[in-house]
Structure 1
Amino acid sequence: MSIVQALSPEIWTAVRLTIELAALTTAILLVVGTPVAWWLARSRAWWKEAVAAIVALPLVLPPTVLGFYLLVTLGPSGPGGALAGLWGARTLAFTFEGLVIGSVVYSLPFVVQPIRNAFEAMGDRPLEVAATLRASPARAFWTVAVPLARPGFLTGAVLGFAHTVGEFGVVLMIGGNVPGETKVLSVAIYDFVETLRWREANILAGGMVVFAFAVILAMTLIEKRMRRAGE
């Protein structure tokens, strides 16, 4: 029997939830993170680095600290509770929607920083040339800046997806361990170890190691391509 055939429906559900969470989080981060990265790269405001520091906070904050404040925010007494009340729920905590919000916050710097670096690396010259050709700022952004920053978008998407797949602390704090709703791969591994189901834990942990290797290899190849393009 192959490993794929040996996987239980419980594991396949965790895999599906993880992929859905990572894909949705990455898509939201690209939409939200792009204007943030553009502003950080182009703004001359003296307080922009304070904003950059706020965006980067998840890089240094312990996941339990960030998870605690997200739990308070998404809980019945926080804004998340009021938002959930719009469709008759009491809270966004321990729901898939809450996991998406938490993942977006926690993975934000992993998407914003590569895109910001790409925007900064292209300099002012391409936009100045576009302006001389009477391109509007919006058209110059979409036809000049975005294509030139494509490696940054690719790097950000890969990092955002991978970081969401591997996150544990924040996910456990705000999502708990609800099968079919919030039990993603990282939580499933923890649950299998707690219940002494070593075989299932080993299969999932091995799969995560292979996934991490693939991400690192992809990042290396992207960086090499970026260097060649810049030569």
Structure 2
Amino acid sequence: MTALDWQAVSLTLKLGLYSTLILLLLATPLAWWLARRHSWLSSVIQAVVALPLVLPPTVLGFYLLMWLGPSGFVGATLESLGLDHLAFSFEGILVASVIYSLPFAVQPLVESFRQLPQGQLEAAATLGAGWWRRFWTLVIPASQGGFLVAATLSFAHTLGEFGVILMLGGSIPGETQVLSILIYDHTEAMNYDAAGNLALGLLVFSFTVLLAVYSLQKRTLGGATYAKG
């Protein structure tokens, strides 16, 4: 592997880690709200969250480019404040990655929260445990399988993102050229050996991570898991 390949590997892992951490922080309260609400508003929010599952990545990438670029509302606002717009930057593809992988974090948590024994939460409330304490001592331990699946799917999905990253970030080494983009660049240059090695490494790594996590979950939790992709 060349220095450019290792640079893309490092950037991909960095993007996956950052995206997963942000997704868990955002998805947890959102999934908790969706799991406990059954209204037209919750249905609308669920549909919005799930859009990346059916929307072509290039369409999402196009709209993000329009919003985050220099001519977009977000990009123009940032520039008016003396900051850089987010198109063709690591920060930009991080935003895109979080939005694109959001359903992979939210939906497993919603399913996990819906299966919680409400009697335990109500009993803890009658004993004087506040909401925050109930959440940390009861909800999170009982939902660890959902968090495990959400984190794994979010991270694995980020590794394979292509269309939305290409549209918003292009292919800038060290900035936006993640593994999926570099594989495309190698293929376009007819450097099939390099593309094949990177593709095989990404395939083996992704499969190994998913197999290890699902095997661990089945052995230790025995609960139902959610996966879509």
Structure 1 position 214 matched with structure 2 position 199: no
Match of 2:96 in 1: 102
Structure 1 position 189 matched with structure 2 position 186: no
Q: Residues 217 and 223 of structure 2 are in contact (CA less than 8 Å); yes or no, is this contact kept in structure 1? A: no
> Which residues of structure 2 form unaligned runs of 5+?
225-229
Structure 1 position 88 matched with structure 2 position 83: yes
Q: CA deviation at 1:77?
A: 1.6
Aligned alpha-carbon RMSD (Å)? 1.6
- Rounded to whole Å, the distance in 1 between the matches of 2:95 and 2:205 is 24
Structure 1 position 71 matched with structure 2 position 70: no
Q: CA deviation at 1:78?
A: 1.5
- Rounded to whole Å, the distance in 2 between the matches of 1:29 and 1:23 is 10
Structure 1 position 139 matched with structure 2 position 133: yes
Q: How does 1:159-198 map to 2 (within 5 A)?
A: 159-198=153-192
- Rounded to whole Å, the distance in 2 between the matches of 1:101 and 1:228 is 34
- Rounded to whole Å, the distance in 2 between the matches of 1:56 and 1:126 is 30
Corresponding residue SS for 2:86: coil
Match of 1:32 in 2: 26
TM-score, normalization: structure 1?
0.91
TM-score, normalization: structure 2?
0.92
Q: Which amino acid aligns with 1:64?
A: T
Q: C-alpha deviations, 1:160-200, integer Å up to 9, x for none?
A: 00000111111101110011100000000000011111221
Q: Cα–Cα, structure 1 residues 180 and 83, in superposed 2: closer, same or farther, change >3 Å?
A: farther
Q: Residues 186 and 192 of structure 2 are in contact (CA less than 8 Å); yes or no, is this contact kept in structure 1? A: yes
Match of 2:146 in 1: 152
Q: CA deviation at 1:20?
A: 0.5
Q: Residues 145 and 221 of structure 2 are in contact (CA less than 8 Å); yes or no, is this contact kept in structure 1? A: no
Q: CA deviation at 1:136?
A: 0.8
Q: CA deviation at 1:83?
A: 4.7
Count residues with an aligned counterpart. 223
Of the three residues 10, 19, 25, the one matched with 2:13 is 19
- Rounded to whole Å, the distance in 2 between the matches of 1:19 and 1:205 is 15
